[in-house]
Chains A and B, each alone.
Chain A
Amino acid sequence: MTTTSFDDGTTVRTRIAAAAGCALLVAGLLLVAVVLPAEYAVDPLGTGAKLGLLDLGITGQQVDKLNAEAAKGGAAQGSIVVDQDKPFVNDTEEFVLGPREGIEFKYRLDKGQALLYSWTATGPVNFEFHAEPDGAPKGYAQTYEKKDAQRQAAGTLTAPFPGIHGWYWENTTSAPVTVSLKAAGFFTLAHKFVGGGVENKTFK
């Protein structure tokens, strides 16, 4: 009897140890083969590249880095006076938004370039002032300001990174609204995104 219970005890212990060992092994394999490439772009076995997970990790790392830089802020505000050799430009734009229509307008700015702007709308619009950094993954945007039901905004922006910087306006009312934008700076290129297409505007 004693022998039997001893045997049983040993068997049970072996079973628990084997199960715990398996659990550790499976977890370790999943970690190295799947989680590390997908989360941290670390791919020691090459499985992340095969499964396409590495792209996920690389994008995630880029976004983390961009967010960290943006959080630090003021990376661009190195000096008070920034000389410019590009011509000074004054731009005025007018956009007519039909009911529930939206439009996006962005200026290309280098890191540290300043933009002065003021816009007014004939009715309340929702807007998002944001930027897409050069080399950022598709669909990534850094939001500066986001407000609903506004009729105007004005201010200055010093670009924290090279990329396209500008606004998305949306007319949520059932009547047409006209948005008038005035901007000044040293930009040479602007993009208007409307209805899935892009119109470029160059400045001399």
Chain B
Amino acid sequence: MSRPAIASAAALIGLLACGAVLDAHGVSGKDAVFLEGLRGRAIGPLLYLGAKHMVTGYDHLLFLVGVIFFLYRLRDVVQYVSLFTIGHSVTLLGGVLGGIRADPYLIDAIIGFSVVYKAFENMDGFRRFLGFQPDTRAAVLIFGLFHGFGLATKLQEFSLAPEGLVANIVSFNVGVEIGQGLALTAILIALTYWRTRTGFLRHAFATNACVMACGFLLVGYQLSGYVLTP
């Protein structure tokens, strides 16, 4: 099998496997029980849950893959990832502390769309079709806002106690960044290795098409959840 075929097969298998355990819509059942029973600060557990959410959150990971796909210099990686971090931290903290929430299916559909957008950008679609490239930094920042709002909405599905809420949410947010750091390291190692191979540029287009398919699937999955779930 060729490398992009393997990569896309792995991506799809991962996606389907994750779909099967998504019943609790982001936070698994036993963790949810823990969150609801919480009174006061629990910095360690929330750091862990934040990191877990990021590492197992394939929608965030797919977007990150798209973002750093063509970033070769570490400085650029740090810059883009910082923009994403600022974006999702603002809405995660603001959303939970301000009690702002939206329909989780619709937010997750937008997050799926962010994956499609980024893949289209990587395929050079905007320049070829629109004749110009919309600001890539702004796109990462704005989609970061939606990713954070998705996290905030999921956390608010639980009746979180007001005691220690600020400390707990900040811990969750820091945990998200730790998880993101871990995931990014793994993605960067894989990408860096792949770039040293001759096939990288040849398969880059097909890979982004696969990422786009995953994005479309996420959009469809979430929108059907919105329509079919009472």
Contact A20 B209 (CB under 8 A): yes
CB contacts (< 8 Å) of A15 on chain B: these are: 205
From residue 208 to 229 of chain B, which have CB atoms closer than 8 A to chain A?
A: 209-210, 212-217, 219-221, 224-225, 228-229
Q: How far is the CA of A64 from the CA of B25 in the complex (A)?
A: 11
CB contacts (< 8 Å) of B205 on chain A: these are: 15, 19
Count A interface residues, CB 8 Å: 26
Question: Which one of A16, A38, A56, A64 contacts B125 once the chains associate, using CB atoms below 8 Å?
Answer: A16
The A contact surface, by secondary structure, is: helix
- Shortest CB-to-CB span from A147 to chain B, Å, is 11
Contact B224 A63 (CB under 8 A): no
Question: Which one of B20, B206, B212, B221 contacts A31 once the chains associate, using CB atoms below 8 Å?
Answer: B221
The B contact surface, by secondary structure, is: helix
Q: How far is the CA of A15 from the CA of B129 in the complex (A)?
A: 12
Contact B19 A23 (CB under 8 A): no
From residue 108 to 134 of chain B, which have CB atoms closer than 8 A to chain A?
A: 116, 119-120, 123-125, 128-129
Contact B220 A28 (CB under 8 A): yes
From residue 1 to 20 of chain B, which have CB atoms closer than 8 A to chain A?
A: 12, 16, 19-20
CB contacts (< 8 Å) of B125 on chain A: these are: 16, 20
Contact B12 A16 (CB under 8 A): no
CB contacts (< 8 Å) of B120 on chain A: these are: 16, 20
Contact A9 B213 (CB under 8 A): no
CB contacts (< 8 Å) of B116 on chain A: these are: 23
Tell yes or no: B23 within 8 A of A by CB: yes
CB contacts (< 8 Å) of A60 on chain B: these are: 23
Contact B228 A42 (CB under 8 A): yes
Q: How far is the CA of A51 from the CA of B219 in the complex (A)?
A: 23
Contact A56 B129 (CB under 8 A): no
CB contacts (< 8 Å) of A20 on chain B: these are: 120, 123, 125, 209, 212
Contact A19 B123 (CB under 8 A): yes
Tell yes or no: A22 within 8 A of B by CB: yes
CB within 8 Å for A23 and B228 given contacts A12-B124, A16-B123, A34-B16:
no
Of A19, A38, A40, A64, most buried by chain B (CB within 10 Å of CB) is A19
Binary per-residue interface labels of chain A (16-34) against chain B in the complex, 1 for a CB within 8 Å, 0 otherwise: 1001101110111011001
Tell yes or no: A13 within 8 A of B by CB: yes
- Shortest CB-to-CB span from A139 to chain B, Å, is 13
- Shortest CB-to-CB span from B122 to chain A, Å, is 11
Q: How far is the CA of A16 from the CA of B126 in the complex (A)?
A: 10
CB within 8 Å for A40 and B228 given contacts A26-B213, A31-B217:
yes
Q: How far is the CA of A35 from the CA of B224 in the complex (A)?
A: 10
CB within 8 Å for A40 and B224 given contacts A23-B210, A63-B23:
yes
CB contacts (< 8 Å) of B16 on chain A: these are: 34-35, 38
CB contacts (< 8 Å) of B214 on chain A: these are: 27
Known: A20-B125, A23-B210, A26-B216. 13 other contacts (CB 8 A): A19-B205, A20-B123, A20-B212, A22-B213, A23-B213, A23-B215, A24-B216, A27-B214, A27-B216, A27-B219, A36-B224, A40-B224, A64-B229
Sample of 12 A–B contacts (CB below 8 Å): A12-B128, A16-B128, A19-B123, A20-B123, A23-B209, A23-B213, A26-B216, A27-B216, A27-B220, A28-B216, A39-B19, A42-B228
A-B pairs with the 6 shortest C-beta distances? A27-B216, A23-B213, A31-B220, A23-B212, A27-B217, A19-B209
Q: Which residues of A contact B (CB under 8 A)?
A: 9, 12-13, 15-16, 19-20, 22-24, 26-28, 30-31, 34-36, 38-40, 42, 56, 60, 63-64
